[in-house]
Structure 1
Amino acid sequence: MSSGLGSALRFTIRLGAELAITAGVVLAAFVFYLLVWTNHQTAQAQDDLLEDFHAEQADASKGGGKGAVEKPESGDGLGVLHIPALGEDWEWVVVEGVTDDDLADGPGHFPGTALPGEVGNFAVAGHRSTHGEPFANLDQLEVGDPIVVETVDGWLTYQVMWERILAPSATEVLDPVAGHPGEKAEQRTMTLVTCHPRWGSSERLVIGTQLVERRGPTAGPPDVLA
């Protein structure tokens, strides 16, 4: 092999090795961003939202609060979601909106659907991976499990009624009566939506619930949170 050909071969091998190392570093940085940094950002956002929520509760208890927001703006906190089946300390502030920026702060309320406790469908989406993974284990819920929404005006306890795996195009689950387009709502329901499988987005995991108990702010949390 001539010296010129050998040098070219060595250069090609060295270049390939350097590119592989660079690609590995870039991939590692991307994985770190997804699995660590986005979770950190979301945790900070949730801390701020929870602090604001507790301040609103304190104002309301003194008679100076405005109560629940009737027309929330994107990013506003609507209340705190508690799912006892996913852990005693499982709580997430639900924000208004389902844009990427909204969902980076926590579970998001679909604008145009009912607000917590209203007649109709209070529909909420959340990440199942990255950004704190609020709905990572949503598939562990079973029919009959309670889900509590804590608002400035009190406590709302919903009960899981059904679970389905649907196509992303099945937007009828956001209708006033989930899955029944055009039907008039008479019940107070909540629908939770997330990606399925956990690390994919080819389908949607949808949990349907119905309001079973309402408590005022002075009554204290429901027994399922005791």
Structure 2
Amino acid sequence: MTSKSAPQTSPRPQAAAQGTPLQLTLSVVGELLITLGLILLLFVAWQLWWTNLAANRIQGDTVQGLIQEFNPTTPDSAKTAEIPAYDPANPTLTLSPSYGQAYGVVYIPRLGADYTRPLAEGVGSDVLDTLGLGHYPESQALGAYGNFALAGHRQTNGAVLDHIDQLQTGDNIYIRTAEGYYTYRVYQSQIVLPSQVEVIAPNPDQLEAPVEEATRRLLTLTSCHPRYGSTERYIVHAEFVSWQPNQAGPPSEIASVAGS
């Protein structure tokens, strides 16, 4: 009697190899790149969203505080305040305060009907990152002959000059301080290199002329260009038009947002 042999079982395939060293390296590098990409996305979100949110809150509170400071103590006193004699063509100067101090409110209707931003002294990151528009200390005082030059961020920390490129010839820029309302009118825009600091000279058209020879009262806005870069600077020049004390009330174009 012939015995049947036990059925032969096929040998099980060996477990798949874990991968070559090169494959393992590529896998680790890929995961690291994905993680790095997520970190960069979070950083961009923080720069473009959170810093704007935080700065807008600080700047809004600062503007409201300044308006209350500039306005008469009570509504009744606002109605009965005597308007002093003044010459719209010869403004009272607003002297620059100490570094980092907010001392004015900037209104630019072209950038929004409710556009209001604080004006502070200095252009360091500690000023621009929180208070918005900063005055170059080496430029002239508000209302003076020469060049009252300001700087502001374009995309972060409130993005105060995000749409500076939308300003057009003939647009008005208003600044209110404890002295009153100053009106400047845009006459030129240009794109320059960061090294071209002559744009904030007392007279950008005559660079060699000292401030004592300045014959125009200018306002210059400076910000980064292009919109998401900083390889250039976007410049807007405006010239003084008129001034009026706070007791005379705000210019009609900003009456609805000037808070008086």
Common fold: TM-score over 0.5: yes
Structure 1 residue 38 displacement after superposition: 1.0
Q: Identify the match of residue 117 of structure 1 among 110, 134, 143.
A: 143
Q: Distance in 1 between matches of 2:25 and 2:34?
A: 14
Q: Tell me the residue number matched to 1:74.
A: 99
SS state of the match for residue 208, structure 1? strand
Structure number with the bigger relative contact order (C-alpha 8 A, sep ≥ 6) is 2
Q: Tell me the residue number matched to 2:180.
A: 154
Q: Tell me the residue number matched to 1:54.
A: 67
Q: Tell me the residue number matched to 1:224.
A: 253
Q: Note the 1:60-209 alignment, pairs <5 A.
A: 70-105=95-130, 106-183=132-209, 184-209=213-238
Q: Distance in 1 between matches of 2:42 and 2:26?
A: 24
| Percent of aligned positions that are identical | 37
Amino acid at match of 2:191: I
Structure 1 residue 72 displacement after superposition: 1.4
SS state of the match for residue 44, structure 2? helix
Q: Distance in 2 between matches of 1:107 and 1:60?
A: 27
Distance 1:71 1:221, change over 3 A: closer
SS state of the match for residue 194, structure 2? coil
Amino acid at match of 1:70: L
Q: Which has the larger Rg?
A: 2
Q: Tell me the residue number matched to 1:210.
A: 239
Q: Distance in 1 between matches of 2:139 and 2:124?
A: 15
* Kept in 2: contact 1:128–1:136 (CA 8 A): yes
RMSD over aligned CA atoms reads 2.6
Q: Distance in 2 between matches of 1:152 and 1:80?
A: 10
Distance 1:201 1:122, change over 3 A: same
Q: Quick check: 38-47 or 204-213, which moved more?
A: 38-47
User: Does residue 26 in structure 1 map to residue 55 in structure 2?
Assistant: no
Q: Normalising to structure 2: TM-score of the pair?
A: 0.77
Give unpaired runs (5+ residues) of structure 2.
1-13, 82-91, 256-260
SS state of the match for residue 19, structure 2? helix
SS state of the match for residue 248, structure 2? coil
Q: Quick check: 11-20 or 160-169, which moved more?
A: 11-20
Question: Deviations along 1:48-77, whole A, 9 cap, x unmatched?
Answer: 3213312421478989xxx98634122211
* Kept in 1: contact 2:93–2:141 (CA 8 A): no
Q: Normalising to structure 1: TM-score of the pair?
A: 0.88
* Kept in 1: contact 2:94–2:142 (CA 8 A): no
Q: How many residues end up aligned between the 2 structures?
A: 223
* Kept in 1: contact 2:162–2:227 (CA 8 A): yes
